[in-house]
């Protein structure tokens, strides 16, 4: 449903500048978040690959390069999915995740989403990485394994989780 809007007292009914439904505060949309984020992702991942040996105090090596490389591939593909989508879904782009080094050279990708929801990916050098969705309010978690051995990674389930969590934020805002 669209509403007309008034352009300095003049009714712009024939303009494409018609408004959508009101009542929702939207998240910022960046011009080209994918480009900007890509540099930030590389910077963060390079830091993890450059950690000192025994960074965790338990003798762990730094994050393995191949784990960081796979993480970069997964995250850039996922952010591109949102960026290539129509504006309502583009607006649910979760942005750059947190990267957490894990003892032994593995790496965890974490999106901290609204309402205590978390999407995490554990990348530890195997062909499959573990993805999980955690809802701390409902005390629920779901876990799937994603095949990362081929040229394309199926991110369908992961993006569904993110959309579900980000949409719940919109509903919460409207309700508030």
Partner 1 sequence: MLKEYSAPPVEKVEMAVYFDPLPQLDLVNLVKVCQSLQKKLGPFSIHQSDYIPTRLEGDGPNLGGAHFEIKQGAPKIGLRLTSEARDRTVLLQDSRLAVSWSRVEQESYPRYPKLKKCFQTVFDAFLSSAGLTESTIGDFKQVGISYVNYLPDDDAKAHELLNFIDFTSFKEHEGIAMQTSQMLQNERIVGRLVLDLMSIFSLDSEENTVRETRKLRMNLTFRGKPAGPGIDGVCNFFDRGHEAIVRTFSDSLSEKGRKKFREQKRDE
Partner 2 sequence: MPYDDTEIVAEDELIRGIPASQIKNGRVSSGAFKSSSDPYRGMSVDLASLEPEQVYPNEKHLGAVKFVASCPREKNLLVGKDPIATNHAHCNIWRHEDGEAKSISTSQARHMQKSSEWHVSIENVRIHGDS
81: CB partners within 8 A, 6+ apart: 155, 159
| 172: contact with partner 2 by CB under 8 A | no
| 105: contact with partner 1 by CB under 8 A | no
* From the list partner 2, partner 1, none, partner contacted by residue 169 (C-beta under 5 to 8 A by kind): none
| 54: contact with partner 2 by CB under 8 A | yes
| 103: contact with partner 2 by CB under 8 A | yes
Neighbours of 13 (CB within 10 A): 8
Q: Nearer to partner 1 by C-beta: 40 or 143? A: 40
Considering only 46, 84, 145, 171, the residue that binds partner 1 (CB under 8 A) is: 84
Q: Which neighbouring-strand residues pair with 145?
A: 130
Residue 133, CA atoms < 13 Å, CB-side half-sphere: 15
| Residue at token pair 């934020």 | 169
Of 24, 28, 27, 1, whose CA–CA distance to 175 is shortest?
A: 24
CA atoms 154, 157, 162, 166: torsion sign: positive
Which residues contact partner 1 (rule: CB under 8 A)? 2, 5-8, 12, 14-22, 24-26, 28-33, 35-36, 77, 80-82, 84-91, 151-152, 154-156, 159-160, 163-164
Which residues contact partner 2 (rule: CB under 8 A)? 48, 51, 54-59, 98, 100-106, 108, 110, 112, 116, 118, 120, 122, 124-126, 130, 132, 134, 136, 141, 143
């Amino acid at each position: 449903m669209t509403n007309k809007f008034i352009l300095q007292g003049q009714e712009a009914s024939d303009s494409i500048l018609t408004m959508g439904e009101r009542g929702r505060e939207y998240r910022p949309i960046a011009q080209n978040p994918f480009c900007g984020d890509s540099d930030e992702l590389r910077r963060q991942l390079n830091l993890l690959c450059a950690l000192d040996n025994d960074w965790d105090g338990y003798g762990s090596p730094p994050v393995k390069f191949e784990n960081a490389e796979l993480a970069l591939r997964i995250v850039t593909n996922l952010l591109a999915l949102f960026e290539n989508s129509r504006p309502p879904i583009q607006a649910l782009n979760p942005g750059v995740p947190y990267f957490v080094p894990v003892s032994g050279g593995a790496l965890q990708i974490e999106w901290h989403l609204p309402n205590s929801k978390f999407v995490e990916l554990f990348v530890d050098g195997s062909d499959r990485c573990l993805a999980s969705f955690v809802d701390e309010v409902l005390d629920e978690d779901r876990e799937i394994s994603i095949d990362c051995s081929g040229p394309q990674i199926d991110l369908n389930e992961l993006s569904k989780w993110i959309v579900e969590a980000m949409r719940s934020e919109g509903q919460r805002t409207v309700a508030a």
